[in-house]
């Protein structure tokens, strides 16, 4: 009798046939039927519905055949097994080594559907190879597969014709070892690639520093590489737009506000635009990236723009690689505003371009401690009210009362505006601006010099004694000491320039700003309200809305260390005023300035004007008290 066509049989014992690691005829044995069958195999062949997953790591692979190859192989595999394909999910250009495809990609969303039961137990996830699912550390890969399989998912790979399910994870030790071995190989391969990339980056940076030649012609959107690769030329129109973005950020405008303003006035966006059928527009992420780019100051940091490549980001930079396009002082002011928006609890009001709520981010509900939101009554005579966000959404707070905003704004500004608006909230004279730029440049040079010293110290630790490195280290430390001395002199000159405004002139400036808060011109009004809002945040005050025992609505205004505590009725009447600093001045009449600040900080910082201790959102510091006392005495 002629022999039947050769067909590779199952090699697992009968007891393991229900395991997740089931050998199915692969592409080389297409059309063959395994010699051994079980009810589990029959179920997998007859009832499962497939979801195909396609992934590759870099956008460059999109130009190749990776996607089409994976799809074709998976479709053919499903057809052989008799699995109808319900959907195809893709993570194109997402790394499986960093886990980005699981954290933010389509595979992560699919896993959530599996865990929630939306994807049924008759679903089989089909991939070309196991490393399409993960190139992370072996235990991470195994735990992820165990988690989804225990929720009812079946996973199949075209490579090797393997099928994995929950039963197999429990019964087939060899199948688990296979997963670990495959995951180990994939992770090691990615690790080796990363090390080679980092080594190439390091060599390119060393060559650029030695020769002055640029590393790559790819540059930020406001620069173009010179033809001889000796440097970059500035596209002035785009560079000016970047400076405007930093100016708007320094004024306190958030990324959403800036993007909307640029789009409304028709400022063209640059960069690669994936939506080819639409006009490129400014996006929030683009504004945030520009505001954090070291390249605006002239520094090159490899991989900085690749926000997902956390493992391969380089920790060194080339100072002066690009031409600087934004002054150091403007960079510092803009990023200080950006960081101020990140710290502490959500401040709220970030999307309100008219700055209707001057106290956004500092006003809270006395009952639950959560934020108060500004609401507007109906027209034609609309009024603004605060209401607890938790009470409005029925999330456990019982204080549903509304608190009038306009009367409080007027009364509160009478109490604190002259204290909040320091010199730095006004347009500085040219001398102050130049000194501020000079100081910012010195501070950046100090930071760069510290990085150089750290790298030299690391080199000594790595290679041992070296006369050349030790000499460079001595010179760098000497230069750093000189820079610190120069910084002190520059800071003193800047302080002297800022102190040129008299107390009377300052009060005049405050009155001008106060009038501008309700100016008919939208631009003037918005600029003034934004300036006052930032000053209130800088003052560190806290506003508390509550109801007393007689159901009267009251609003409390508190400064750090209880330097000033005011209680207002719902119509803006001042019901209580506690001036902690005035009391301190009477107790210590012979002290002033820094001495008084130290005494207040030691004696009254933890004192409370009420039975319930109210503290500001920021901790009281001696520096804050010094500034507050100086402004307080000027206005007295």
The residue among 430, 432, 424 whose CA lies nearest residue 509 is 424
Mean pLDDT of 130-141: 77
Flag whether pLDDT at 403 surpasses 90.
Answer: yes
Flag whether pLDDT at 470 surpasses 70.
Answer: yes
Contacts 24+ apart (CB under 8 A), 378-381: none
Residue 309 · residue 303 · CB < 8 Å: yes
Q: What is the DSSP letter of 398?
A: -
Q: What is the DSSP string of 126-158?
A: EESSGGGT--S-HHHHHHHHHHHHHTT-EEEET
Give the per-residue pLDDT at 427: 45
Of the listed ranges 9-13, 274-278, 309-313, 470-474, the least confidently predicted one is 9-13
CA distance to 80, 533, 610, per residue, from 517 (Å)? 73, 11, 32
Q: Give the number of other CB atoms < 10 A from CB of residue 11.
A: 9
Give the per-residue pLDDT at 243: 93
Residue 71 · residue 52 · CB < 8 Å: yes
Write the CB contacts of 323 (distance below 8 Å, at least 6 apart in sequence).
223, 231, 232, 234, 298
Helical spans, DSSP H, in 310-429: 328-342, 389-392, 406-420
Instruction: Pick 91 or 501 by higher pLDDT.
Output: 91
Question: Exposure pattern of 77-90 as b/e (b: 16+ CB <10 Å)?
Answer: bbebbebeeeebeb
**SS3 readout for 503-526:** HHHHHHHHHHHHHHCCCCCHHHHH
Alpha carbon distance 484, 494 (integer Å): 15
Give the per-residue pLDDT at 623: 60
- Residue 403, classed as helix, strand or coil, is strand
Flag whether pLDDT at 109 surpasses 80.
Answer: yes
Give the per-residue pLDDT at 239: 92
Alpha carbon distance 195, 190 (integer Å): 9
Q: Report residue 184 CA to chain centroid gap.
A: 32
Percent above pLDDT 90 for the chain: 12
Give the per-residue pLDDT at 142: 79
Give the per-residue pLDDT at 626: 61
Give the per-residue pLDDT at 521: 80
Q: What is the DSSP letter of 427?
A: P
Give the per-residue pLDDT at 8: 36
Length of the chain counted residue by residue: 636
Mean pLDDT of 404-410: 92
Give the per-residue pLDDT at 51: 93
Of the listed ranges 103-107, 321-325, 498-502, the least confidently predicted one is 498-502
User: pLDDT grade, residue 601 (50/70/90)?
Assistant: low
Residue 372 · residue 359 · CB < 8 Å: no
Q: Give the number of other CB atoms < 10 A from CB of residue 202.
A: 13
Residue 546 · residue 366 · CB < 8 Å: yes
Flag whether pLDDT at 349 surpasses 60.
Answer: no
The residue among 157, 174, 155, 177 whose CA lies nearest residue 166 is 155
Instruction: Pick 15 or 425 by higher pLDDT.
Output: 425
Give the per-residue pLDDT at 613: 42
């Amino acid at each position: 009798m002629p022999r039947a066509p050769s067909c590779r049989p199952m090699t697992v014992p009968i007891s393991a046939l229900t395991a997740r690691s089931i050998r199915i005829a692969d592409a080389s044995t297409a059309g063959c039927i395994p010699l051994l069958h079980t009810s589990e195999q029959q179920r997998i062949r007859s009832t499962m519905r497939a979801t195909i997953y396609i992934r590759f790591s870099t956008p460059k692979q999109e130009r190749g055949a990776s996607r089409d190859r994976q799809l074709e192989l998976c479709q053919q595999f499903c057809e052989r097994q008799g699995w109808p394909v319900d959907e195809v999910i893709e993570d194109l250009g997402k790394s499986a080594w960093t886990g980005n495809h699981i954290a933010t990609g389509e595979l992560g969303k699919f896993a959530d559907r599996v865990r929630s039961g939306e994807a049924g137990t008759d679903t089989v996830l089909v991939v070309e190879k196991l490393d399409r699912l993960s190139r992370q550390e072996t235990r991470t890969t195994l735990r992820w597969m165990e988690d989804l399989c225990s929720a009812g998912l079946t996973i199949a790979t075209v490579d090797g014709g393997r099928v994995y399910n929950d039963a197999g994870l429990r019964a087939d030790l060899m199948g688990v070892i296979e997963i670990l071995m495959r995951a180990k190989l994939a992770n090691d391969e990615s690790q080796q690639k990363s090390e080679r990339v980092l080594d190439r980056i390091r060599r390119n940076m060393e060559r650029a520093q030695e020769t002055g030649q640029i590393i790559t012609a790819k540059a930020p959107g406001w620069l173009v590489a010179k033809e001889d690769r000796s440097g970059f030329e500035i596209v002035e129109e785009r560079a000016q737009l970047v400076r405007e973005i930093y100016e708007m950020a320094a004024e306190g405008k958030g990324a959403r506000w800036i993007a909307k303003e640029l789009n409304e006035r028709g400022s063209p966006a640059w960069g690669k635009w994936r939506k080819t059928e639409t006009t490129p527009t400014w996006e929030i992420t683009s504004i945030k990236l520009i505001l954090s780019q070291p390249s605006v100051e002239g520094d090159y940091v490899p991989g900085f723009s690749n926000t997902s490549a956390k493992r391969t980001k380089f920790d060194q930079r080339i100072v002066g690689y690009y031409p600087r396009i934004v002054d150091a002082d403007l960079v510092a002011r803009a990023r200080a505003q950006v960081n101020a928006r990140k710290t502490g609890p959500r401040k709220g009001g970030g999307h309100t371009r008219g700055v209707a709520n001057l106290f956004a981010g500092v006003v809270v509900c006395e009952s639950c401690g959560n934020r108060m939101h500004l609401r507007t009554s109906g027209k034609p005579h609309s009024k603004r009210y605060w209401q607890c966000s938790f009470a409005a959404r029925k999330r456990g707070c019982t204080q549903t009362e509304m608190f009038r905003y306009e009367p409080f704004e007027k009364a509160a500004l009478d109490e604190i505006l002259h204290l909040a608006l320091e010199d730095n909230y006004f347009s500085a004279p040219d001398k102050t601006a130049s000194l501020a730029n000079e100081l910012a440049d010195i501070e950046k040079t100090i930071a760069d010099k510290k990085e150089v010293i750290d790298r030299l110290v690391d080199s000594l630790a790595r290679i041992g004694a070296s006369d050349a490195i030790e000499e460079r280290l001595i010179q760098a430390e000497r230069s750093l000491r000189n820079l610190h001395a120069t910084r002190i002199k520059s800071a003193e000159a800047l302080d002297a320039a800022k102190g040129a405004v008299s107390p009377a002139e300052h009060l005049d400036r405050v009155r001008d700003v106060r009038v501008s808060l309700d100016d008919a011109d939208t631009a003037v009004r918005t600029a003034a309200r934004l300036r006052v809002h930032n000053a209130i945040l800088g003052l560190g005050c806290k506003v508390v809305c509550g109801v007393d025992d007689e159901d009267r609505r009251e609003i409390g205004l508190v400064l750090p260390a209880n330097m000033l505590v005011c209680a207002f009725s719902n119509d803006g009447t001042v019901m209580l005023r506690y001036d902690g600093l005035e009391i301190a001045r009477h107790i210590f009449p012979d002290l002033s300035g820094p001495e008084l600040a130290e005494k207040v900080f030691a004696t009254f910082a933890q004192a409370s004007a009420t039975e319930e201790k109210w503290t500001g959102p920021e901790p009281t510091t001696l520096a804050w008290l010094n500034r507050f006392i100086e402004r307080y005495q000027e206005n007295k």
